[in-house]
Chain A
Amino acid sequence: MSPLAAGASPPAAAKPETPSLARTPLHALHLRNGARMVPFAGYEMPVQYSAGLMAEHRHTRASAGLFDVSHMGQIVLTPRSGEADDAARALEALIPVDLLGLPEGRQRYGLLTDPSGGILDDLMVARLPGRLVVVVNAANKAADLAHLRKHLPEGIAAELVPGGLIALQGPKAADVLGRFADIATMRFMDVREVAILGAPCLVSRSGYTGEDGFEIAMPEDRAEEIAEALLADASVLPVGLGARDSLRLEAGLPLHGSDIDPGTSPVEAGLAWAISSARRQGGARTGGFLGSERILSELARGPARRRVGLRPEGRAPVRAGAPLFAEESGGAPVGRVTSGGFGPSLGAPVAMGFVPTALAAPGTRVFAELRGARLAAIVATLPFVPAGFKRG
């Protein structure tokens, strides 16, 4: 047997233990929990534990899953002035989000754009007293830091800070974390500095699964102890990168490097919602970010293509790279699948990809090429699985 297509997640057959790979503070904990380790973004990471991907996925939707996301980049922006507004103003030149209007104790999803309007990375920006904290994708953290340092003014220091980062996701996440810290009153996208087992932590109510949940930044040397304490709760199962990918796919969330990249614009990617009205035409601070010309024009006129959800008919998963066609036979490809696999909560294959705007309406039938045949797939609204965020 040989792997045909591994989609966006790490290949099953990859061999771990490459000595050059970095390890997170939870490495020993992963091994104790029967993790299968794979290389991912320069780290040795758990793709699944002994329960297996399917069980981990379902457990997260039904109860709570604990994810090691310590490989992601935590970048702190500290203005010399001590005023977070100064960092927010400066970062607005790189991200089309209203950061000056971001209240202390809140975070927003944002996109780091390039001069041609492509997406360098997607990230979270949180405002804390006297600083901003930016959480970026693991594979991009060095490039993001260099980009920030190149473009931010001299008075704004950008540092990649070490630390453990754990995501606790699922409908029982708040109950579990609530036993350790005062988080019950937090709403979706709130951030709060709390002590967990006496360790200073930064908690945000957010995640990458479509469920209610939290991301918890903590000192490296306390990460294992805190993770063990959370895992001691019977509601919590450790969850690997495999289920992280299937959960985010069902939640309709794009993966940078697969669904979005410098070749895709925010509007094409269906992420126009992440561009604040203050930064749009007619807003208080229109434009003024890298790539604004193209992005504002696409907001006004619509993009030529769109990222859409796809529900393949039948049971065969359609994976990243599959060409998409308008017709069942003949013609040239009109688009491409960028993520795809099997949705354990849906019990059916799900995918995302780009199609021309004329084919982007939900219900449109397109065709994906799979092993030489064309399989029908229906354009679907995202997310595939309703979100469980605590917005109220």
Chain B
Amino acid sequence: MLRFTDEHEWLRLDGDTATIGITAHAAEQLGDLVFVELPKVGAKLTKGEAAAVVESVKAASDVYAPLSGTVTEVNEAAVSDPASIGGDPQGAGWLYRLKLDDPADMDALMDEAAYADFAK
């Protein structure tokens, strides 16, 4: 299940764990990324709190936790080569994985068509 937030993040659910990243639209708006800071594995995140930072040459942006849960894995390749995120933001450019407190929370988020309309 692929879902999107109005903060331009995507989540792909696999079991009770969501892989999270920034959308292609967000990556295009940000331009070339030069720095990424990801949460620590094991961190407990509450929906809406700042979970990660992505920075382009000219600006830093917060990436908020789209749902509550526990961080199980982070994408070290994205940290060591932030520019690579822009090449495949909704695939290899994922940021972190979150074991959701309640996977049913996914249902409240936008599906692909709704997000495409939102990001227009």
Contact = CB atoms under 8 A, between A and B. Distances in A.
Interface of A: 1-7, 9, 11-13, 47-48, 52-54, 57, 242-243, 245-246, 315-317, 319, 341-342, 344, 349, 371
Nearest to A12: B59
For chain B, which range describes its interface: under 10, 10 to 19, 20 to 34, or 35 or more residues? 20 to 34
B120 interface: no
Contact of A5 (B7, B32, B60): B60
Interface of B: 7-9, 22, 26, 29-32, 34-35, 37, 53-64
A337 to B, nearest CB: 13
Given A1-B63, A2-B7, A52-B32, A12 B26 contact: no
B34 A1 contact: no
A110 to B, nearest CB: 28
Nearest to A5: B60
Contact of B58 (A2, A53, A316, A349): A53
B40 to A, nearest CB: 13
Given A1-B9, A4-B53, A9 B58 contact: yes
Contact of B59 (A6, A52, A57, A316): A6
B49 to A, nearest CB: 13
A255 B53 CA distance: 26
A1 B58 contact: no
A315 B35 contact: yes
B59 to A, nearest CB: 5
B61 A3 contact: yes
B120 to A, nearest CB: 14
A52 B35 contact: no
Contacts of B60: 3-5, 317, 319
Nearest to B57: A342
Contacts of A3: 59-61
Contacts of B54: 1
Contacts of B56: 12, 53, 342
A1 B57 contact: no
A4 B29 CA distance: 15
A316 B35 contact: yes
A246 B53 CA distance: 20
Contact of A1 (B26, B31, B37): B26
Contacts of A5: 59-60
Nearest to A319: B60
